[in-house]
């Protein structure tokens, strides 16, 4: 009998086919659990590879599970290759816990680009937050020297962009300068997903449409919510991938849609915790992803980009 075609290849979606290499939890929404479903809602075929499989996120008192090593990642890629399944339009990566695994991911980038030279690599360089590093220090130089040059889009937070550029960011102009440093090293699109500047929370986006030309840069002011949520960075990067591919020349619009989706979801999460009598400021909160799917698919844009001139 003839082998049936792979319909995601034979009849590709208008948006794309994403390979997402991130963490996975049985319970809760972080890593792939926070990224795959939103991308599917936005019309993407998504194939997840789970870099870890844990019972729950590591903020709980205990967790159990397994960690995928570089050889096991290679085995999965070889299995896909043996069946001619390595055509992807996008690669998405999030938390990676070891240098050896990150080196293997770089091999995957090369392999995917031999199949599709136009592959878009969206990298969330998850290394830490608010001055705290939660990956081995050796990873920083690998991201800086090897990953940034091959990434198409980078989505660091403030702490991560400081690690990658060596620039202390205390003003908006520092944030723009950091974006320019990253453009010079590789990616045409950079979104610093959260910056605390003089008491304000900002997103700064930068798109260098032509090499050698100044980038188009903008900010979105984001209201602070008095709570801590898990999985928001993973979700934000997935939304930026999803919307920036639909609007490839309009990173401002893509960011407005992504921020508006995320803010609606966070407010729903906050209200749902309050409705069961839980103080949202007493612990990290699991995001209400399934309940917010309408806000993911059709967000009402409430947060507008302001262009820098």
- Tell me how far apart the alpha carbons of residues 27 and 19 are, in angstroms, rounded to a whole number: 22
Q: How far is CA 185 from CA 102, 125, 181, 236, in A?
A: 18, 15, 7, 23
Instruction: Tell me phi and psi for residue 162, to 5 degrees.
Output: -65, -40
Instruction: Tell me phi and psi for residue 219, to 5 degrees.
Output: -135, 155
- Tell me how far apart the alpha carbons of residues 308 and 300 are, in angstroms, rounded to a whole number: 24
- Tell me how far apart the alpha carbons of residues 195 and 243 are, in angstroms, rounded to a whole number: 21
Q: Roughly how many angstroms between the first and final C-alpha of the chain, as a whole number?
A: 62
Nearby residues of 292 by Cβ (< 8 Å), 6 or more positions away:
261, 264, 265, 268, 269
- Residues designated catalytic: 234
Tokens (6 digits) for 75:
């085995």
């Amino acid at each position: 009998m003839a082998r049936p075609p792979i319909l995601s290849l034979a009849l590709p979606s208008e948006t794309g086919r994403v390979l997402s290499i991130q963490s996975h939890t049985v319970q809760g929404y972080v890593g792939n659990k926070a990224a795959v479903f939103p991308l599917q809602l936005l019309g993407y075929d998504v194939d997840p590879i789970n870099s870890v499989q844990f019972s729950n996120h590591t903020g709980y008192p205990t967790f159990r599970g397994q960690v995928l090593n570089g050889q096991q990642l290679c085995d999965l890629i070889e299995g896909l290759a043996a069946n001619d399944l390595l055509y992807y339009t996008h690669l998405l990566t999030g938390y990676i816990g070891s240098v050896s695994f990150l080196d293997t991911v770089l091999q995957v980038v090369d392999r995917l680009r031999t199949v599709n030279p136009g592959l878009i690599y969206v990298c969330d360089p998850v290394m830490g937050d608010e001055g705290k590093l939660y990956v081995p220090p050796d990873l920083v130089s690998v991201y800086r020297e090897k990953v940034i040059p091959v990434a198409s889009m980078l989505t660091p937070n403030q702490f991560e962009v400081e690690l990658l550029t060596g620039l202390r960011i205390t003003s908006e102009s520092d944030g723009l300068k950091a974006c320019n440093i990253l453009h010079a090293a590789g990616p045409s699109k950079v979104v610093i997903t959260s910056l605390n500047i003089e008491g304000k929370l900002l997103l700064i986006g930068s798109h260098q449409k032509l090499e050698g030309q100044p980038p188009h840069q903008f900010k979105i002011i984001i209201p602070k919510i008095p709570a801590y949520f898990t999985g928001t960075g993973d979700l934000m990067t997935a939304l930026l991938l999803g919307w920036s591919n639909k609007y490839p020349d309009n990173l401002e619009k893509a960011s407005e849609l992504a921020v508006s989706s995320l803010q609606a979801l966070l407010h729903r999460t906050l209200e749902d915790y309050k409705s069961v009598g839980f103080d949202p400021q007493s612990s990290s909160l699991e995001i209400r992803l399934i309940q917010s799917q309408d806000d993911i698919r059709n967000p009402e844009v409430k947060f507008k980009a302001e262009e820098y001139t």
